[in-house]
A and B are shown apart, each in its own frame.
Chain A
């Protein structure tokens, strides 16, 4: 398979500098766009490529961009392109790799994306803990200004763009695009009501596009080599390649670039080497902590947005978390719910009060103080907190996904905790 996103990333874990990036075809997409493509041309190529957002929701990137007003439909003023590098979904470790080892790929993707929507200011909103990535991105941005790839009149095209790195002060909810925009404005990161959508009224009330790191890293290659080429990369119905990861008790945890549509089994048993000796696969979260559990019968499913969706889960970030047969499913869900309860922004009641309630019920069950009625309570909570529309944003419904599917697939484990008055895994 041809490596695209990781073609500059070798096993030596050395970062790719400007010289190495350009020697391997880097900034060819930028030169092509700046010398012969209009913003509309670029947008059309991305729309034709069927690229879908790699941050978790899978929204078509070209369609998202097309909502940004342009020409006489847009009032005069700034437009913004924001890279969502606030990688904080539990079990997700793909954007760190892209930023630490090939920062120029992201920057080129951002310049081209900003050009497509005619933005003049761009931000990289990055986790404050990603110190290595922050430094490498800042160094790479400085190199770009020096070479005329950023700043005024990029490569003589008349197009100008400034780029800033904004390290977050740390909250999971900042990954929600409107909460991220509030954080960029220096406020508490409460999500905003939609509409208006950020494409029309985002940062400082101006049109704003927020895209995930991996999504943006695809852009230079699509601009350089075309939509048709990109569509040939996928094995299934989705276009392109994707970074897939596996963590947990497997022999070789890691992150690999593979075609969209690669079967789960190839990733877990092939790339990750299967389970460690003495452990069996009991279930897995296919794309981070806020996705529904799948079980061994789903191993032959293709990692495509719609295929995983039809199985009752989400492809999410594509980084899988493995539940082994010696770890307690109730304990694993409790760990996740603790995280979500802690990271609730506190704005709406089902999330602020509901998630600590769920946590309490799970703590009671896990510690051997569970009662039969707790199972009904949990089922009620998944319906009430999990329903889109009851909450202000997707955090609490996301938190309910691993719980509702754990109740479906591992109900006996919950029951046994209650019957035995203790956790059978301890």
Chain B
């Protein structure tokens, strides 16, 4: 009985829109499991992250095991298996940004927003994550805030970008 309930639940987790988008990818992929990464990204685009339930539903839809899909989901930097804030800050900590002082910028962001890597601000607006080289080294230091690339970062620019975010009284907590 319990098996049926789980299967019924999993069949209703994904929205019609999500399934339609996954089907579009499947049109040029010879095996269903070949759309695993696409499907994870599609669901994440709609929901911000991939929950356990969504992961199981995707796995079922693509006729693969949830364990195999979990191995794929956790392999990639841009698949989030925990909830994230409204915008993800992808902070470049690679070599060119390091040479141009990104450690101090990271410290400034942590103090300003009260979060370290992997944490989400109390108002749920931002999640801070390090990212490998963003390919904008001539404009270092750089980061992405949501969909926007922010370049030539310095202390003043950080203040400006997060001007409307509430000031925290504790740094790096």
Contact = CB atoms under 8 A, between A and B. Distances in A.
Interface of A: 87-93, 95-96, 121, 127-132, 162, 164, 166-172, 183, 185-189, 204, 245-249, 253-255, 285, 289, 319, 321-324, 327, 331-332, 335-336, 339, 342-343, 345
B162 interface: no
Interface of B: 28-31, 33-38, 40-41, 71-72, 75-79, 90, 93-96, 98-100, 131-140, 144, 147, 149
B146 to A, nearest CB: 10
Given A91-B94, A169-B76, A253-B137, 18 more contacts: A87-B135, A88-B132, A88-B133, A90-B96, A90-B132, A169-B77, A169-B79, A171-B75, A185-B34, A186-B36, A187-B36, A245-B138, A247-B140, A253-B140, A319-B137, A321-B96, A321-B99, A335-B93
A248 B30 contact: no
A131 B148 CA distance: 9
Given A92-B133, A96-B136, A339-B132, A248 B96 contact: yes
B136 A93 contact: yes
15 contacts: A88-B133, A91-B96, A93-B135, A121-B28, A162-B28, A171-B76, A186-B36, A187-B36, A189-B75, A204-B31, A245-B137, A248-B99, A249-B100, A332-B99, A339-B94
A327 B79 CA distance: 34
A142 B96 CA distance: 35
A339 B95 contact: yes
Contacts of A168: 76, 78
B79 A129 contact: no
A91 B133 contact: yes
B99 A324 contact: yes
Which of A319, A331, A335 has most chain B Cβ within 10 Å? Answer: A335
B72 A186 contact: yes
A255 B34 CA distance: 37
Rank and list the top 4 A-B pairs by shortest CB-CB distance, nearest first: A169-B76, A247-B137, A170-B77, A186-B36
A95 B41 contact: no
Nearest to B33: A186
A95 B135 contact: yes
A322 B137 CA distance: 11
A172 B132 contact: yes
Contacts of B90: 129
Contacts of A323: 99
Contacts of B30: 204
B58 to A, nearest CB: 11
A171 B149 CA distance: 19
B71 to A, nearest CB: 6
A131 B147 contact: yes
A97 to B, nearest CB: 9
A245 B94 CA distance: 16
Contacts of A169: 37, 40-41, 76-79
Given A121-B28, A162-B28, A169-B41, A93 B95 contact: no
B95 A90 contact: yes
A166 B36 CA distance: 12
A87 B137 CA distance: 12
A136 to B, nearest CB: 14
B140 A170 contact: no
A118 to B, nearest CB: 18
A196 B41 CA distance: 30
A342 B132 contact: yes
A168 B38 CA distance: 9
A92 B76 CA distance: 21
Contacts of A95: 135
B37 to A, nearest CB: 5
A247 B96 contact: yes
Given A90-B94, A321-B95, A322-B99, A253 B76 contact: no
B72 A188 contact: yes
A377 B7 CA distance: 54
B72 A187 contact: yes
Contacts of A331: 98
Contacts of B94: 90-91, 289, 335, 339
Contacts of B72: 186-188
Nearest to A87: B135
Contact of B78 (A170, A186, A188, A339): A170
A397 B30 CA distance: 35
Contact of B95 (A185, A245, A289): A289
Contacts of A170: 76-79, 131
B37 A186 contact: yes
B126 to A, nearest CB: 17
Contacts of A162: 28
B51 to A, nearest CB: 17
A96 B100 CA distance: 20
A254 B29 contact: no
